[in-house]
Amino acid sequence: MAKPVIFTIDDDPDVLRALERDLRQQYSERFRVMRASSGASALGALHQLRERRNAVALMLVDQRMPQMSGVELLEQALPLFPDAKRVLLTAYADTDAAIRAINSAHIDYYLLKPWDPPADRLYPVLDDLLDDWLASYRAPFEGVRVVGHRWSPKSFEVRDFLARHHVPYQWLDVETEPEARRLAALAATEEGGGAGAAVENGPAPQDGGAGASAGDGAGEGTGASAGDGSGGTAAVESLGTADAAVTDVAPAAGAPASAGAPGAGEVAWTPAGRLPVVFFADNSFMIEPSRAQLAERIGLRTRAESRFYDLVIVGGGPAGLAAAVYGASEGLRTLMVERDAPGGQAGTSSRIENYLGFPAGLSGAELARRAVAQAQRFGVEILNPQEATGLRREDPYRIISLSDGSEVSCHALVVATGVSYRKLAVPGIDRLTDAGVYYGAAMTEAISCKGEDVYLVGGANSAGQAAMYFSRYARRVVILVRGDSLSRGMSHYLVDQILQTPNIEVRLHASVVGVHGGETLEAIDVADSQAGTVETLPGRSLFIFIGAEPRTAWLEGVVERDEYGFLLAGSDLVRDGKLPAGWNVDRQPFLLETSVPGVFVAGDVRRGSVKRVASGVGEGSITVSFIHQHLAHI
């Protein structure tokens, strides 16, 4: 974390140097000491510090400076760092002015020049003030911040992506948080042209300001912006990171205010601004980043290091992760390709209670995080987000095409692509997807639903788990079940939990037949098949869990599938005693081997699989044993 700043300002270079020296001597271990030689340059630097979310603990300002007096500077700096301690350096003749300014500029102390010896006349005062400041100081959040609109699908995608990759972030909603609007406006301004930003209370700076502002206009920037002296001769030395960093500006008299420049006043976001904006810890930012851009920024790998692997696994759910851990731990050069985030469906589960060895249950995210760490420890290369889009065989190689147009080849492939949620067939629902309508648990949304009514569609365990999770935040959770009983599709323990949770309501014979809303969901039509009625219920959040289907179109014509798209394996491939067309090895297919020798299947995507975490893990592990036998004969 950056050290809090002690900022000293004096127009006399000798005095400034002496002050800086004395301050450093006493405080440089705990504070960063900065100096400026004019009010204008100090204000510019203070704006930068604020944008970078550095803390300013103390300002020590000379009263007699040309253009802007110490009191004037402290008055203008007040909104930037309201909690900083303010000390005015005065000559004896100025003490009356200093006393008068105690209220207007919130001056905590005034010191008479000279302050020698500092041990007697400077440090005791400052120590006291700094102790006071430290006692109430709370370090700002330093991680990733996402600024966006709660109902925007793009904002949802970014938050979901970060959450599923275990990147902690702070969510700032432009509708409800002034800080979010300020940051959004700042990003729009930096992006270039000030789109979406407008100046509020923006008189021209009196004498120019610091002009440190960056951003390449391509949706990325540094996020550090200061009052803009554009059009003048202002120049700024960037805020260094060392204690000795100096920010001095040559004032540009009469420089015009630049749109959105914080130095010219506060900026305000307007709905034209592009969202979401993701700010990183170093204050760089990305506007409307794609998943690939975000992935790169948070250090994920999307391109394979090599062209060939012993084993490639497509799908990073429990089955794929297990295959990866066992494969790599047994010496196979292993690549895992995941189009979304490792963890698969299990990764979206709020609490898995039946996985062996975790008597208190564990969240899917935690299981995924542990499995990824284990796989990486054994040297598995993980590509994500990256999607397998095709497969061809060039014996003995299996060649997988990826969504970025690249290819990887291998001797053995495990398809562990699981299943994905089925879509609800209701007119207009696609338009509202991720803007109030969500498939799966979308746990990132739970906190936003605080105090609201939430509707869940589905009668199986996934809906039940989600209901329990949302009940902690929502005012009321309504589970809409098409059938006549909850226990028909849900585990007994979950049904018991649901029935004992007062803010969960179960509606049987109920199905969603309509959705309403402009940009976001506003209401749903719920049909009661027993009563023959349709009721319109106001609601902003609808979560859908209505079964799942395999997405195996990319294997069409290469690997045998059943009529629903599930992959056939082992003895399922033998029909009337005959092996599948193209079977060209002198043995029967192994238990989890598909119609293509060397291509295996594990987990939910296999026909007849038991759709559970443990069975996926089991199958993923077992495939590795068969892969060794396959490789032994290549």
> Residue 441 interacts with ligand FAD (CB under 6 A)?
yes
Shortest CB 371 distance to ligand FAD, Å: 10
Taking CB under 6 A as the criterion, the residue among 104, 306, 354, 529 binding ligand FAD is 354
DSSP state of 142: -
What lies within 8 Å, CB to CB, of 572 at 6+ separation is 607, 608
Integer Cα distance of 214 and 166 in angstroms: 29
Is 576 buried (19+), middle (13-18) or exposed (0-12) by CB count in 10 A? Answer: exposed
| CB-nearer residue toward ligand FAD: 130 or 388 | 388
β-bridge mates for residue 543, sequence order: 438, 456
| CB-nearer residue toward ligand FAD: 210 or 613 | 613
| CB-nearer residue toward ligand FAD: 187 or 352 | 352
Shortest CB 573 distance to ligand FAD, Å: 19
Alpha helices in 224-331 (DSSP H): 291-297, 318-329
Question: What are residue 568's phi and psi, to 5 degrees?
Answer: -90, 145
Sign of CA dihedral 106, 111, 112, 114: negative
β-bridge mates for residue 484, sequence order: none
**Secondary structure class of 365 (helix, strand, coil):** helix
> Residue 348 interacts with ligand FAD (CB under 6 A)?
yes
> Residue 345 interacts with ligand FAD (CB under 6 A)?
yes
CB 31 within 8 A of CB 5: yes
> Residue 612 interacts with ligand FAD (CB under 6 A)?
yes
Shortest CB 457 distance to ligand FAD, Å: 13
Nearest to 458 by CA among 440, 446, 476: 440
| CB-nearer residue toward ligand FAD: 526 or 567 | 567
- Per-residue binding letters, 300-329, with ligand FAD (x by CB under 6 A): --------------xxxxxxx---------
| CB-nearer residue toward ligand FAD: 53 or 551 | 551
Number of neighbouring beta carbons within 10 Å of residue 71 = 23
| Number of residues this chain uses to bind ligand FAD (CB under 6 A) | 38
Nearest to 619 by CA among 273, 321, 233, 243: 321
Taking CB under 6 A as the criterion, the residue among 5, 346, 368, 599 binding ligand FAD is 346
| Plot region of 344 (φ>0 → left; ψ -120 to 50 → alpha; else → beta) | left
Taking CB under 6 A as the criterion, the residue among 603, 622, 623, 626 binding ligand FAD is 603
> Residue 337 interacts with ligand FAD (CB under 6 A)?
yes
Per-residue tokens: 451: 């105090």
Integer Cα distance of 428 and 273 in angstroms: 27
> Residue 592 interacts with ligand FAD (CB under 6 A)?
no
Taking CB under 6 A as the criterion, the residue among 211, 219, 229, 616 binding ligand FAD is 616
| CB-nearer residue toward ligand FAD: 260 or 342 | 342
Integer Cα distance of 323 and 621 in angstroms: 5
Q: Which of residues 376-435 bind ligand FAD (CB under 6 A)?
A: 387-388, 416-419
CB 529 within 8 A of CB 483: no
Shortest CB 493 distance to ligand FAD, Å: 10
Shortest CB 419 distance to ligand FAD, Å: 5
Q: Which of residues 524-583 bind ligand FAD (CB under 6 A)?
A: 551, 554
Site residues (vs ligand FAD, CB under 6 A): 314-320, 337-340, 344-346, 348-349, 352-354, 387-388, 416-419, 441, 461-462, 465, 551, 554, 603-604, 611-614, 616
